[in-house]
A = this chain, B = another copy of it.
Amino acid sequence: MDDNDLVKIERITGYARETTDDTVTRELPLTIVLNNQELVTLLCSPADLKNLAVGYLSSEGLLNSRDDITKISLDESKGIVRVDIAEDKLTVGDTVFKRVLTSGCSRGTSFYSFIDMKEQVKVESQLKISAPAVFSLVGEFQRRSEMFKTTGGVHNAALCDTEDILIFSNDISRHNAIDKIFGDCILNDVSIKDRIVVTSGRISSEILIKIARRQIPFLISRSAPTNLSVRLADQVGMTLIGFVREQRMNIYTNGWRVLSANG
Contacts and interface: CB of A to CB of B under 8 A. Distances in A.
Interface stretch (A25-33, A120-128, A180-188, A191-199): A25-33
A252 B13 CA distance: 14
A22 interface: yes
A25 to B, nearest CB: 5
Nearest to A248: B13
Chain B CB within 10 A, most for which of A7, A12, A27, A28:
A12
Nearest to A134: B12
A52 B153 CA distance: 25
Nearest to A254: B10
Contact of A104 (B4, B15, B107): B107
A224 to B, nearest CB: 4
Interface stretch (A86-94, A160-168, A211-219, A225-233): A225-233
Given A27-B204, A112-B41, A204-B172, A10 B255 contact: yes
Interface in A229-255: 229-230, 243, 247-252, 255
A42 to B, nearest CB: 6
Interface in A15-29: 15, 17, 22, 24-29
Given A7-B252, A252-B9, A227 B27 contact: yes
A153 B107 contact: no
Given A11-B248, A43-B206, 15 more contacts: A7-B230, A9-B250, A11-B250, A12-B249, A12-B258, A14-B248, A15-B261, A24-B227, A27-B205, A31-B108, A43-B108, A104-B105, A104-B107, A105-B107, A152-B224
